[in-house]
A and B are shown apart, each in its own frame.
Chain A
Amino acid sequence: MKLLEFEAKTILKEYGIPVPRGRDAGTPDEVELAAREIGGPVVLKAQIPVSGRGKAGGILFADDPAGARKMASGLLGSTIKESLVNTLLVEEALKVDKEYYLSVTIDRVAKSYVVLASIEGGVDIEQVALASPEKVSRYWTDPLSGLDKKQAREILARFDLSDDTAVELASMLTILFSAVMDKDAELVELNPLVRTTAGTFVAVDARMIIDDNALFRHEEFADRSLSREDETPLELEARKQNLAYVDLPGSTGVIGNGAGLVMATVDLVHHFGGSPANFLDIGGGGSVDINRRGLLLVLSKPEVKGVVVNIFGGITRCDFVAQAVIEAIEESGTGKPIAVSMMGTNEAEGKRMLDEAGVMNFPNMEEAVQGLLRVQGGH
């Protein structure tokens, strides 16, 4: 779960990371009020869960509250990088002397956490690492002992930093690491962390991604986890129903059991000249009901002109899936073609049920995809 910038900053502030003075605002009135409270020039930042918003016009500077209000009227309700802007973060505009980069994230290969520090902040860290590797320091933490201040100092030792700066940055690294551990984060990033012309360190931007699988022990995100700005309405509906669903831009619905098999089916639809409209993994061992709801959800998308259902049943019972398909066709009254491939547990019974109900079914996934595309039309 990606937190919005102001949410990440609220958490980090509690841990002792300095952030610019400011607050979130949802209307031009609130923006003007916030700007008045802050006093002086302010920056307005669209709260959307995608990077690169600055270049896309999502970060604006205003000299006074009236100007902030005017800019907010244009920004609120607009769409930036396909995300609707309904919240702005209003912050004091700082005079920046130097920008740094600090982050802690998960390293799949090392099976641990990796800490990154750079003396070049404000830009894409991967590009800095490629262009000037000497400006980036990486440190892989011991998964059983974590990160202490001494190690944090070692990470920074390769840079030519003043003692004060090194102490300050090392302290922030250990704080970030604690926040990652406490909040079950996959990523915490300060970019840029700036030293102002007055000599203080402030996290001007912050990103935080929480591990969805750890939300069970984080009641503080319970409300937050209901809405995710990067979801489409169908994806949100699917998540409420505990279905793993992703919208795609095409016209052929794709349902299967197991993420790999569904991805392979999506790829096959494309391979045979179709365009996948979605990805729906009904998982393993699903009941008739969950399979039925899954098909109804896919059929509800107007762009869907036909659906391929690909099941390789281990835990999943083919007769349950067949029952679900038959019920969903009846319930929706759909005339859209549906092609099924089913193998594995109770396959013969499932196929018999589909045959009796007149539902197209095929001996394997390739024939099902081709069979559907032949009759679907308009893809």
Chain B
Amino acid sequence: MSIIVDQGTRVIVQGITGREGRFHTASMLQYGTNIVAGVTPGKGGEEVEGVPVYDTAAEAVTRHQANTSIMFVPARFARSAILEAVDAGLSTIVAITEGVAHKDAIEGMARAKQRGDTIVIGPNCPGVISPSKKTKVGIMPNHIFKAGRVGIVSRSGSLTYEIAWHTTRAELGQSTCVGIGGDAIIGLDFVGALKMFRDDDETEGVVLIGEIGGNAEETAAAYIAETGYPKPVVAYIAGRMAPPGKRMGHAGAIIMGEMGTARSKIDAFAAASVPVADRPSQIVGLLRV
């Protein structure tokens, strides 16, 4: 098994004709991802990397039985792209786009929830990769991943790579890595991913990579404690030295008053008996798998 993506994943790329869309379509194809179509309004009939392009998500889905979308559309069009993907009936939507307005993200998540069976990953995320299934619906560098036993769920893109690389070098490998995104309003959250990893027989332990801002880590810690989570979890929190009130690079990473400090998150994990690494390099050593 794996979570979210596998060989049955049939992907459409929204915004495939843009610079990012083209580049990552090639990279995903190279990795083995089954990309069946692309979508760019007004560019229907073109091809990118041998992939046919359609004007609408609905058409791409109908013609190619797609079930998953990855989007590279500019932030100002993210709202309509998410709603289009939800309405087209896709079961997984990966929104790579950075800088999506809160109001747009809120509406997108609500529409996906209303539909009931749609998982949104992101926005502002690196996507999801399952090395043993040769499937990547995301933007991560292919060569640092290796099929294996560790599930990784992370709010941070490049830090995911750093930590995945440690598990690769330690010969543990990864079952699935999912970057849930750094924004304040995201779809799939830590708890949602932890539930999936719990039921995934390929995953023997989970690395949770958090950062300052919000209280998603505290919620995850409470979930682990309350449910007696059956697999070992190790956490890492970035931003111990971040000053309050400053956005550290993106909208989600900001300490507001007492809310969202690294201390609060580290304490929550300690209370849930989840080891917290001081440095990324310590994670592998703390993971009992």
Contacts and interface: CB of A to CB of B under 8 A. Distances in A.
Nearest to B257: A126
Nearest to B141: A314
A193 B289 CA distance: 56
Interface residues of A, number: 53
A343 interface: yes
B155 interface: yes
Nearest to B138: A314
B209 A143 contact: no
B161 A264 contact: no
The binding surface of chain A is classed by DSSP as mixed
A248 B216 contact: no
Given A267-B239, A312-B158, A213 B253 contact: no
B106 A113 contact: yes
Contacts of A214: 101-104
B242 A144 contact: no
Contact of B248 (A126, A246, A271): A246
A211 B102 contact: yes
Nearest to B161: A312
A128 B21 CA distance: 49
A288 interface: no
Nearest to A246: B246
Interface residues of B, number: 65
Nearest to B213: A108
Interface string A258-300: 1111111011111100001001010011000000000000000
A181 interface: yes
A366 interface: yes
Contact of B106 (A111, A248, A271, A312): A111
Given A144-B107, A314-B158, A365-B162, A216 B76 contact: yes
A7 interface: no
A115 B243 CA distance: 28
A196 interface: no
A313 interface: yes
A129 interface: no
B72 to A, nearest CB: 11
Interface of B: 20, 23, 75-76, 99-107, 109-111, 113-114, 126, 139-141, 144, 154-162, 165, 182, 184-185, 209, 211-212, 214-216, 219, 236, 238-243, 245-253, 257-258, 278-281
